[in-house]
């Protein structure tokens, strides 16, 4: 029989037990050497018996080790130095968990953490703190709590990754810390009310142009999100106040400002709110927040904006302002449709003034060409070549140009006649071709366009190919 030296358990965390755990003699490994029947020097077989029981814990080991761990946790919570090496503490937790002390250890740890968190509520009972100081104090408490829980978890990591992980009903050490802070600090009615009101006050000040501590807002709102109270405690109230703010602001500024200035303000507000989402609000707030701004500053005033300023912007050919209007209206449900309607009405109204007044017959064709160039440019640059605007423009031209039967066609024929007679005296072949192409487009809007045919026939003799091409297109 060969003897095996008894193994020693690794319990370096135990103060006063330098030898860790000693193995009972009855559990010593036994090795039996047997020989083949008949003796001799045949092959030998070594049999090792398994250890079925774990080494016993020394007396008071659990109590002494927990005392050490408790001291370490309290030192972390009070921001004082820890007397023990972190590796030593980690090993102590592992030893306890290995001897089925995990349930008790978890309960003890939770109780220590809960006692500490409960004690923190007292500092927020002071009524003398103003909003900003209160927010700074709650933020400091939160940051300290997170730092402490990270350090505590690093010591009890073995417990977190074994016993807690295997028991799905138990929150992890980090989640336990969040739960305790939520239950005992932020769920307190007074604390939550002052926290939310303080945050909303800072946002209101920022919206009014004041500089505020955005990092403080970011930290506090992140806290609410981590504690899973962001939506119910903050977001609903925030969106409600935002809705009221921009409803009142929209009504007031529509009375005070001209359309370009108002649209600039809307763009600025949308940009500011988008920046708030990026900087300190939760990403989930972006969609309802932007929708709120769009509704109150745009959606509620679409008709008023168009009635007040569209005609002026089109008359003055204010391309940047028209571009901004199109972009903003495209953000709102029904915005493009109502812009289309007013766009069509403007074309028909303005176009009618060109064709209906006999006193303007002399300049009618050139005015039509200039007007067509203008609306084409607006569609291309401002309205992003939107097919709906192109098609409605064509319909609108066809409507107003036929309000005075025959006359536009007659004047177009005379205009073509004068251009073709002048030939290269007034324009090159390329320029003349471009002019005729534009006239062709205008001409297509006229219902009774066959009146021009006799005049076109006369131009064949004078102008050759150009006239023939024109005749080919218009017959």
The rounded distance, in Å, linking the Cα atoms of 377 and 372 is: 9
Q: Are the beta carbons of 148 and 76 closer than 8 angstroms?
A: yes
The rounded distance, in Å, linking the Cα atoms of 394 and 262 is: 31
pLDDT at position 415: 83
Question: Cα–Cα distances in Å, from 211 out to 138, 169, 298, 385, 464?
Answer: 21, 46, 27, 41, 74
pLDDT surpassing 90 at residue 27: no
Lowest mean pLDDT among 31-35, 301-305, 383-387: 31-35
DSSP bridge partners of 45: 34
Between 18 and 473, the higher pLDDT residue:
473
What are the chain's domains? 59-183 (1.20.1310.10), 186-298 (1.20.1310.10)
Share of the chain above pLDDT 90, in %: 69
Task: Supply φ then ψ for residue 165, to 5 degrees.
Answer: -65, -35
List alpha helices for 121-182, DSSP H.
131-155, 157-159, 165-166, 173-181
DSSP bridge partners of 2: 31
pLDDT surpassing 80 at residue 448: no
The rounded distance, in Å, linking the Cα atoms of 335 and 325 is: 10
- In a 13 Å sphere around the CA of 174, the CA atoms on its Cβ side amount to 9
pLDDT at position 241: 97
Lowest mean pLDDT among 193-202, 260-269, 333-342, 444-453: 444-453
Mean of pLDDT values over 44-64? 70
Question: Cα–Cα distances in Å, from 462 out to 79, 456, 466, 468?
Answer: 102, 10, 10, 10
pLDDT surpassing 50 at residue 449: yes
Which pLDDT band holds residue 23 (cuts at 50, 70, 90)?
very low
pLDDT at position 467: 46
Average pLDDT, the chain: 86
Mean of pLDDT values over 23-43? 45
The rounded distance, in Å, linking the Cα atoms of 292 and 180 is: 35
Residue pLDDT, tens place only, 395-415: 999 999 999 988 888 888 888
Mean of pLDDT values over 116-120? 96
- Alpha carbon distance, N-terminus to C-terminus of the chain: 122
The rounded distance, in Å, linking the Cα atoms of 106 and 112 is: 10
pLDDT at position 416: 82
The rounded distance, in Å, linking the Cα atoms of 330 and 276 is: 22
Angle at 378 between CA 377 and CA 383, to 5 degrees: 125
pLDDT surpassing 90 at residue 461: no
pLDDT at position 425: 64
Cβ neighbours of 106 (radius 10 Å): 20
Q: Are the beta carbons of 57 and 43 closer than 8 angstroms?
A: no
pLDDT surpassing 90 at residue 343: yes
**Three-state DSSP state, 49:** coil
Residue pLDDT, tens place only, 157-179: 999 999 999 999 999 999 999 99
The rounded distance, in Å, linking the Cα atoms of 101 and 93 is: 9
Residue pLDDT, tens place only, 297-323: 999 999 999 999 999 999 999 999 999
DSSP 4: -
The rounded distance, in Å, linking the Cα atoms of 116 and 435 is: 86
CA dihedral 47, 53, 54, 60 (to 10 degrees): -140
Q: Are the beta carbons of 76 and 82 closer than 8 angstroms?
A: yes
pLDDT surpassing 60 at residue 135: yes
The rounded distance, in Å, linking the Cα atoms of 236 and 225 is: 13
Task: Supply φ then ψ for residue 30, to 5 degrees.
Answer: -120, 135
- Model's pTM, two decimal places? 0.79
Residue pLDDT, tens place only, 57-102: 677 889 999 999 999 999 999 999 999 999 999 999 999 999 889 9
């Amino acid at each position: 029989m060969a003897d095996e030296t008894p193994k020693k358990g690794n319990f370096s965390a135990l103060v006063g037990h330098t030898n860790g755990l000693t193995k009972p003699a009855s559990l010593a490994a036994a090795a039996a050497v047997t020989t083949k029947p008949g003796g001799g020097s045949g092959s030998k077989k070594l049999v090792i018996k398994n250890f079925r029981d774990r080494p016993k814990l020394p007396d008071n080991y659990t109590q002494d080790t927990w005392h050490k761990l408790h001291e370490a946790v309290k030192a972390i919570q009070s921001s004082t130095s820890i007397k023990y090496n972190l590796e030593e503490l980690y090993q102590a937790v592992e030893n306890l968990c290995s001897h089925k002390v995990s349930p008790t250890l978890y309960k003890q740890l939770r109780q220590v953490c809960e006692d500490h968190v409960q004690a923190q509520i007292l500092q927020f009972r002071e009524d003398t703190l103003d909003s900003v100081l209160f927010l700074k104090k709650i933020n400091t408490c939160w940051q300290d709590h997170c730092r402490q829980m990270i350090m505590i978890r690093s010591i009890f990591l073995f417990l977190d990754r074994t016993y807690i992980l295997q028991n799905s009903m138990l929150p992890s050490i980090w989640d336990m810390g969040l739960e305790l802070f939520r239950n005992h600090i932020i769920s307190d009615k007074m604390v939550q009310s002052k926290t939310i009101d303080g945050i909303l006050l800072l946002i209101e000040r920022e919206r009014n142009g004041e500089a505020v501590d955005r990092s403080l807002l970011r930290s506090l709102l992140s806290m609410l999100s981590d504690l899973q109270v962001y939506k119910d405690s903050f977001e609903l109230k925030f969106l409600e106040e935002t809705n009221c703010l921009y409803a009142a602001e929209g009504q007031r500024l529509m009375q005070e400002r001209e359309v370009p200035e108002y649209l600039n303000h809307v763009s600025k507000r949308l940009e500011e709110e988008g920046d708030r989402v990026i900087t300190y609000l939760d990403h989930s707030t972006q969609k309802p927040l932007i929708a709120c701004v769009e509704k109150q500053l745009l959606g509620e005033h679409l008709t008023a904006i168009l009635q007040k300023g569209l005609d002026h912007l089109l008359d003055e050919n204010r391309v940047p302002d028209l571009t901004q209007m199109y972009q903003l209206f495209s953000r709102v449900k029904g915005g493009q449709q109502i812009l289309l309607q007013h766009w069509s009405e403007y074309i028909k109204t303005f176009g009618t003034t060109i064709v209906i007044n006999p006193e303007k017959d002399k300049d009618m064709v050139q005015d039509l060409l200039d007007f067509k160039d203008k609306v084409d440019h607006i569609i291309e640059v401002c309205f992003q070549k939107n097919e709906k605007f192109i098609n409605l423009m064509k319909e609108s031209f066809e409507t107003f140009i036929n309000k005075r039967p025959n006359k536009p066609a007659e004047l177009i024929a005379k205009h073509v006649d004068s251009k073709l007679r002048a030939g290269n005296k007034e324009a090159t072949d390329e320029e003349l071709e471009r002019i005729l192409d534009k006239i062709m487009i205008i001409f297509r809007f006229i219902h009774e366009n066959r009146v021009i045919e006799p005049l076109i026939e006369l131009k064949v003799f004078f102008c050759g190919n150009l006239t023939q091409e024109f005749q080919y297109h218009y017959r």
